[in-house]
Structure 1
Amino acid sequence: MSPLNRRDLLRSAGVLAFAGVATTTGRSEAAQAASPTGAAVPGFQHGVASGDPLPSSVLLWTRVTPTTEAVPGSGIGPDVTVRWEVAEDSGFLRMAARGSVRTGSARDHTVKVVPGGLRPGTAYWYRFIAAGATSPTGRTRTAPAAGAAVDRLRMGVVSCANWQAGYFSAYRYLADRGDLDVVLHLGDYLYEYAPGEYQARDIVVRPHDPAVEMTTLSHYRRRHAQYKTDLDLQALHSAVPFVVTWDDHEFANDAWSGGAENHTEGAEGTWSARRAWSQQAYAEWMPVRFEPAGHIYRRFEYGSLASISMLDLRTYRSQQASSVVDPAIASPARTLTGDAQMAWLLDGFSSQKTQWKLIGNPVMITPVRFPSTLSAQEIGAVGQLLGSTTIDGVPYNVDQWDGYSADRSRVISHLRDNAITDTVFLTGDIHSGWACDVPADPLTYPSNGASVAAELVCTSVTSDNLDDILGTQPRTASVAVEEAFKGANPHVKHLDFDSHGFSVLEVTPGALRMDWYVLSERTSRAATSALSASWQVAAGTQSVSRIL
């Protein structure tokens, strides 16, 4: 069954007008995506999406605008019935499932349905219908049957997409491929900042809506809605199911269980209320099997080939270390995962019958030492990029697993002591590309030859990298910094501090391969894409090796 290309997906639905429906946030983006004539899709202005595929079901998502006034975040508008259809063909002649659901202002007129009884490893088309308007058609795919032999799994891997810093060309190139089974989004799907607070080298390419830092339920809903009007993001959502987790910017920068670096208690309300609102908007606007009363860490299987365990490293973590009077970074009293999630993760390593154990890991687990040869400017720039701080004059990556080394030791010891193989951490967050061995002991690596896992880190879609922070041209000043980091950390094999783009991961029984693609210019809608590096993890090795 040949895949639809991006243009076909956007134009496949025959759309009838909703009388009197006006603009919502970001209409200039959505208007171009609706039909060959460029008219906005009345009623369905934020596209369609699917996510969290299982062998017999997949979650489907959309947002309907029933009246002119019922814009995202407004809290007004009537309840409306939305019909949904799932078919085995793009013409909807071979129907697989159908039904209807009510939505309204209580959930910002978003729709999430989970059709059951679908066939494993099968492509399906879906659409929504309300009051005579038909949504664009989406294409999705269920996961293979449990334990089934699977020859290949191919996924897009992305993170850190800041609307203000550029255009989402990375999503366009992934949507146009037509060969992906799933897209893994590792967090920072959107950013909380107001215009002028965080953008591309201090240039706002396109301003955030609302024009304030998001702190209330209405703010979070409007910001999600704005991102969902991006043409390239709509195209990717409609072409491939997503598996997502959050990092910090879905809430606020450097979030932890009791607050965030970018949250002022009192002036911006309470952290508990802000986090609840952000999680509610996330549950409403993302194609994810999550509701605020539950937890977002979860696991998916692709036959006997691979499992994907998605972590939540914000909700349960202790506050980041910030000074010498903080508890020791290695203290077991401090946690990144929380006890329940840690038990779930370790049990998954031991009980999974799949060959490859893939971990959707929002922040980097590989230990990283800062080189002693860096200048003060370079230390400051890298520290800003990696979320580090200086304790007693020594830089630490306190927002990553480096700042919670007791939890990391539990993971590494479990992998080593139980001889668990083919574990790969897939990571976002730090706006740079890495390929690393995860050593059992970084002080003796590589003489002891012990690497318990591999880690592959994708670049940012648009968020600032080291060259942006330093104000230099790409692949100039950063190159020496990269070499210094690799020299101080022999388990770090590949490092790219400058690029924006996306990654493609291919998993087979013999090896796992990551390809990094870089964009020519994030601030241009006409950005080109080029393959920059390829690294693999051969089965049974727990170690990365270069292909390109």
Structure 2
Amino acid sequence: MDSTARHILDLHRRGLLRGALGLSALAALPSARAQPVFGRYPFRLGVASGDPLPDGVVLWTRLAPEPLAPLGGMPVGAVPVAWEVAEDERFARIAARGTELARPELGFSVHAEVAGLQPGRPYWYRFRAGSEVSQTGRTRTAPAPDAAPARLRFLNAGCQHIEHGWFTAWRHAAREEDIDFVFHYGDYIYEYRGRLPGQPGWGPAQPVRTATGDEVHTLEDYRRRYAEYHMDPDLMAAHAAHPFLPSFDDHEVDNNWAGAFSEEDGGARHPVAVPPEVFALRKQAAFQAWWENMPLRRAVLPRGPEITAFRRLRFGRLAEVHVLDTRSFRDDQPCGDGFNKPACDAVARPEAQMLGERQERWLLDGLGASNATWQVLAQQVMLSPLALPDGINMDSWDGAPAARARLLRGLQERRVRNAVVLTGDVHTAWAGELRPEAEGPVVATEFVATSITSGGDGTEQRPGTPALLARNPHLRFFNDRRGYCLHEATAERMGVTFRAVPFVTRPDAPREDRGRFITEAGRPGLHPVG
């Protein structure tokens, strides 16, 4: 077990001890309600689990009898919420139980860090507040660190703009069988509303579903926006079906934010700048709301406007998953930001940062030390070079090519075998091969998941797709439908199936497959299947 994993486990166990000590003093808390009575069902945002370890998992819910009201319609005062985990869905064999306090300071969210479970098996869980019982969720612990599981099945998904369509892809994701985890690469919510064609982030000509309120800035704004998303029955079903590894991209805070800088950074597109110290207040609200609404451990709880969300999870000897943060520690986008924009001199700066020095060193050291068969870099923005007709995407790794070169050379120098990169952000599906130099050896494979809804229905291809792929021969697949990626890893190969739905602007789309590839252990590169 590496030092980071030991650190997370230590925080996990110390947090459980603090929680147990706190519960012993529950009767002395005048604000705690021993038997709360709710005017409406309090579990309207569903249940979720996440960040599985071999001996446990995080269980999540949030009390909200009136989800769009301030504090979810809860009275001020901490509320005890009991939880239980069972070996069977009838709860005849209880494996663990406990109680957490849902506090108003944390939006009445509950994060139960369960320990003492058996590795590599499914469990069922539920919550109770007063006389009310939550929905039942199903989760799965990670395999033992030295186990050699026959396979690992996981999903990669994100970019779910509620105004751009129905979350039918999540319904299909919920029905996938034997899923070990879902990596949510980010853009769980969208902070703005009502974007129409011709504006950044536009999708259908008119919003399919209209978000409440305007662009969000305050903690209560962000909480309300998360509540709208959590109430979607298809997303709720996916959370209840599988454990998630949550990450974030830009829209959990502000479109195309980077480090200390908001989208409105004083460039040509936004001449009236938001000062970094003011943007820090928005980041603080956004990160708190993100933590409140995700199945995350206490170790990830933000400290003001700063958060350490990068972390490492092991799935036996088969895979190590390195969850990355490509927003918090990066440089501001060069050349005034932009998509399909010619590169200016700032693109070539040798000190360019995408992960930041500390995270970059943590990642490369962890990759070099790991003995897992597959090294999964779970991140947000496209790592593969993408030569567009008139330029590059400044918000991707193309805006910091020196940082990309350091990462890929680091893989090569440390002889990291079987590196696979999971990506999202661009609302289209891609598969590509990564090389430190254009004519050098392949050192990693990248699979880019399309969006759940963002961008609207999409098409199979775009008019310029053949020319785009010819301009970028390292990219072997493109599709413009909505959906997610299903991955299956064995000791011999890692496979991907690009799942898609033909439409999102109306409900009940069927599930379709648009491409399948594998990369073989010890032989980096892409091979189409079927």
TM-score calculated relative to the size of structure 1: 0.83
State the shift of 1:333 in Å: 2.8
2: distance between equivalents of 1:162 and 1:302? Answer: 31
What letter is aligned with 2:206?
I
SS in 1 for 2:283: helix
**Structure 1 residues 69 and 171: alpha-carbon distance in aligned structure 2, compared to 1, 3 A threshold:** closer
**Structure 1 residues 262 and 185: alpha-carbon distance in aligned structure 2, compared to 1, 3 A threshold:** farther
272-281 or 174-183: bigger deviation: 174-183
Aligned residues: 476
Which string of whole-angstrom CA distances, capped at 9 and with x for unpartnered residues, describes residues 22-71 of structure 1? 4xxxxxxxxxxxxxxxxxxx111100000000001100000113689975
Which string of whole-angstrom CA distances, capped at 9 and with x for unpartnered residues, describes residues 308-343 of structure 1? 101101111110012599762232333111110000
Which residue number in structure 2 is paired with residue 115 of structure 1?
A: 114
Give yes or no for contact 2:121–2:141 (8 Å, CA) kept in 1.
yes
2: distance between equivalents of 1:502 and 1:322? Answer: 32
Which residue number in structure 2 is paired with residue 39 of structure 1?
A: none
Which residue number in structure 2 is paired with residue 538 of structure 1?
A: 520
What letter is aligned with 1:178?
E
Give yes or no for contact 2:262–2:274 (8 Å, CA) kept in 1.
no
Give yes or no for contact 1:436–1:456 (8 Å, CA) kept in 2.
yes
Which residue number in structure 2 is paired with residue 56 of structure 1?
A: 55
**Structure 1 residues 175 and 271: alpha-carbon distance in aligned structure 2, compared to 1, 3 A threshold:** same
Query: What is the 5 A alignment of 1:33-432?
Result: 42-65=41-64, 71-72=70-71, 77-196=76-195, 198=201, 200-209=203-212, 211-261=213-263, 265=273, 270-289=278-297, 290-293=300-303, 294-322=307-335, 328-371=346-389, 395-432=391-428
Give yes or no for contact 2:259–2:332 (8 Å, CA) kept in 1.
yes
Q: Percent identity?
A: 36
**Structure 1 residues 203 and 409: alpha-carbon distance in aligned structure 2, compared to 1, 3 A threshold:** same
State the shift of 1:158 in Å: 0.5
Which string of whole-angstrom CA distances, capped at 9 and with x for unpartnered residues, describes residues 155-214 of structure 1? 1111211100011111100111232111111111111112345553231111112x2101
Which residue number in structure 1 is paired with residue 460 of structure 2?
A: 475
174-183 or 69-78: bigger deviation: 69-78
**Structure 1 residues 490 and 266: alpha-carbon distance in aligned structure 2, compared to 1, 3 A threshold:** closer
Give yes or no for contact 1:307–1:352 (8 Å, CA) kept in 2.
yes
SS in 2 for 1:145: coil
**Structure 1 residues 277 and 326: alpha-carbon distance in aligned structure 2, compared to 1, 3 A threshold:** farther
Which residue number in structure 2 is paired with residue 380 of structure 1?
A: none
What letter is aligned with 1:204?
P
SS in 2 for 1:260: coil
SS in 1 for 2:527: strand
Give yes or no for contact 2:335–2:346 (8 Å, CA) kept in 1.
no
2: distance between equivalents of 1:203 and 1:331? Answer: 41
Give yes or no for contact 1:55–1:142 (8 Å, CA) kept in 2.
yes
SS in 2 for 1:328: helix
What value does the CA root-mean-square deviation take over the aligned residues?
Answer: 2.3
Query: What is the 5 A alignment of 1:378-527?
Result: 395-442=391-438, 444=439, 448=440, 450-464=441-455, 474-475=459-460, 478=462, 480-496=463-479, 498-527=480-509
2: distance between equivalents of 1:292 and 1:20? Answer: 30
2: distance between equivalents of 1:325 and 1:150? Answer: 46
SS in 2 for 1:413: helix
State the shift of 1:244 in Å: 1.5
- What residue ranges of structure 1 are gaps of 5+ in the alignment? 1-16, 23-41, 372-393, 469-473
1: distance between equivalents of 2:81 and 2:69? Answer: 15
Which string of whole-angstrom CA distances, capped at 9 and with x for unpartnered residues, describes residues 345-398 of structure 1? 101110011010001020111112224xxxxxxxxxxxxxxxxxxxxxx51221
**Structure 1 residues 358 and 267: alpha-carbon distance in aligned structure 2, compared to 1, 3 A threshold:** closer
What letter is aligned with 1:537?
T
1: distance between equivalents of 2:475 and 2:117? Answer: 43
SS in 2 for 1:255: coil
